[in-house]
Amino acid sequence: MTYCLGIINRAGLVLAADSRTNAGVDYISTYHKLFDFSIPGERVILLCTSGNLSVTQGVINLLKRELQTPETDNLNTFSSLYDIAGHIGAKIRQIHDRDREWLERDKIDASCSFLVAGQLPGEISQLYLVYSQGNFIQATPETPFLQIGETKYGKPILDRTLTYDSPMEAVAKCALLSIDSTMKSNISVGPPINLMMYHADTFAVRHKLTLRLGDPYLAKMRKSWEESLRQAFESMPDLEWKHQPQASDEDIFID
């Protein structure tokens, strides 16, 4: 399992991903799940992956091989991020057409999903979620974040704190807290955590961060957040119980 999220707002984009992949409690590995296909000064293309590792790695390898063959459609030839999301969906179908029968024969889940984010010339920053079937949806100002993988534990903080106008540094901290909350509740999500922040219209990803196990900032953030939550909980008003009148003997009936 994994957890990745993308957040879009008026000022740009933030993407974050954990690195844990497991096939049982006795086999845990780490794999990179956040990829930068940008051409600085020309276009920004960021991808996050979740799901069957062989499928997602197959798609990433196809995209890289295409970039080495300029005469074919590739991430550098499309003029819109919408078309890039559709192209990645087609690559997912291509890998599934090749491998799904054999995976399903051994009851292996072949599903996967991708986050596709970035900005191309003449467009605003965009964020898409590409499903295992190859179709996709787009983030909007009303719903400024998309998640893939183990999503439920990290969603409440996003729902309560994010808006389309949130400052970029606040968005980055919120993304880290969302991943940390997921790690706290689910052992299948874990560091290193990779984080990227892109400021709109700069066409260059200048902010990248990798937080490994035991990172001082990660520990400080978790401690501060837990203390703040505890203080907020303790300051909550007490419940106002509705006391019921004590029943008399006449009110008690026995069938």
State yes or no: cis peptide before 192, omega within 30 of 0: yes
- pTM metric for this prediction: 0.89
Q: Which two tokens stand for residue 3?
A: 């957890």
Q: Mean of the pLDDT values across residues 94-98? A: 94
**Model confidence pLDDT, tens digit, residues 110-140:** 899 999 999 999 999 999 999 999 999 999 9
**Model confidence pLDDT, tens digit, residues 172-216:** 999 999 999 998 888 778 889 999 999 999 999 999 999 998 889
CA distance to 153, 165, 181, per residue, from 170 (Å): 19, 10, 16
**Model confidence pLDDT, tens digit, residues 7-24:** 999 999 999 999 877 645
Residue 167 near residue 10, CB atoms below 8 Å: no
Which domains does the chain carry?
3-226 (3.60.20.10)
Within the chain, what is the greatest distance between any pair of CA atoms?
A: 91
CA distance to 217, 245, 249, 250, 251, per residue, from 254 (Å): 64, 20, 11, 11, 10
Q: How many helices (H) and strands (E) in the chain?
A: 5, 12
**Model confidence pLDDT, tens digit, residues 30-60:** 788 999 999 999 999 999 999 999 999 999 9
Instruction: Sheet with 126-130: list strands edge to edge.
Output: 34-36, 44-51, 112-119, 126-130, 136-138
Q: Could you identify the residue written with the tokens 């003997």? A: 249
